[in-house]
Amino acid sequence: MSQPLDPVTETSVETAEAYAANRANWDDRARVHADSGDYDLAGMARDPARVSTVVREDLAILAPHLPRAGAQPLAGLEVCHLQCHIGTDTLSLARLGARGVTGVDLSPASLEIARDLAARAGTDIRYVEAEVTGAAAAVGQTFDHVHTSIGTICWLEDLTAWARTIAALLRPGGTFFLRDRHPVLAAFDDTVAGDVRLGYRYWSLPPGQAQTYDEASTYTGGDHTRIRATRNYEWPHPVSEVLQALLDAGLRLVAVGEHDTLPWPALPVMELEGDGYVLPAPWRQQLPVAFSVVARRD
């Protein structure tokens, strides 16, 4: 969440209503993102060696747990990318040697842009429109690797269903990777300049509840007036809930990490360092801003 136009509040909402509002918001955001230099779709399509900064950082964490090393760590693997948005990270995964890649997202506008990007890049990627907990039935196959990052699980109400979907998508021996904003960071107020202070809940909400806010902006440059569907719904998930959901789904945890960089400034005090954003001292030494999980289906 960044610079909401009204305060974040907790509200009762039907899941279908919340997801419909989020779908409309991400449809609008996708069109802004596609025209933004931050994503640089033309450059991504033009350069067959280009891999997104998000996937580069993901692979630094994931690669030791894959069967192959080197420039093509996904060689020979079939990959499913959940919550793929406009496909820059999906295309990046394909460029790391994957034998086949399927992207899944609930936003039809995002998938239209992703398909066009893949076509311009000359890369065969299958895209499926589905809410993530319905992905297994919508996709209809299993994979060697399931990938999701970054800024994803806050948009999901039910992590038990999420984890079961991941397990259903994985073949025996397959890996799952998650990197996302740390739930501790999500509890800090993102409207306060020059300070780091608590503002939101860390623990999960009761069933039927969500955090909601209006936001007529997004994390890239571009014409934000094109974002007409401004209502957002999110759900906080503590680290324990994420890990327990994966364990309950029958997955084995291989690696858990905490990190000090994010691809976007989740708090106003965060500073650009290289390709990511970090907290300035002393907060950088006190708070994680991201976490990662590698799990396997035995």
pLDDT in tens, the chain (298 residues): 444 446 899 999 999 999 999 999 999 999 999 999 889 999 999 999 999 999 999 999 999 999 877 778 999 999 999 999 999 999 999 999 999 999 999 999 999 999 999 999 999 999 999 999 999 999 999 999 999 999 999 999 999 999 999 999 999 999 999 999 999 999 999 988 899 999 999 999 999 999 999 988 898 888 888 899 999 999 999 999 999 999 999 999 999 999 999 999 999 999 999 999 999 999 999 999 999 999 999 9
CATH number of 52-210+236-296: 3.40.50.300, 3.30.565.10, 3.40.50.150, 2.60.120.10?
3.40.50.150
In order, the DSSP letters of 108-141 are HHHHHHHHHHHHHHT---EEEE--GGGHHHHH-S
Looking at residue 118, its pLDDT comes to 98
Looking at residue 6, its pLDDT comes to 62
Looking at residue 52, its pLDDT comes to 96
- For 282, other C-beta atoms within 10 Å of its C-beta total 9
CA–CA separation, 147 and 145 (whole Å): 6
Question: What are the sequence ranges of the domains in the chain?
Answer: 52-210+236-296
Looking at residue 4, its pLDDT comes to 43
How many C-alpha atoms does 131 have within 13 Å on its Cβ side?
A: 19
Strands 271-273 and 276-278: antiparallel
How many C-alpha atoms does 82 have within 13 Å on its Cβ side?
A: 31
**The pair of three-digit structure tokens given for residue 278, joined into one six-digit string:** 């970090």
At 185, give phi and psi (nearest 5°). Answer: -60, -35
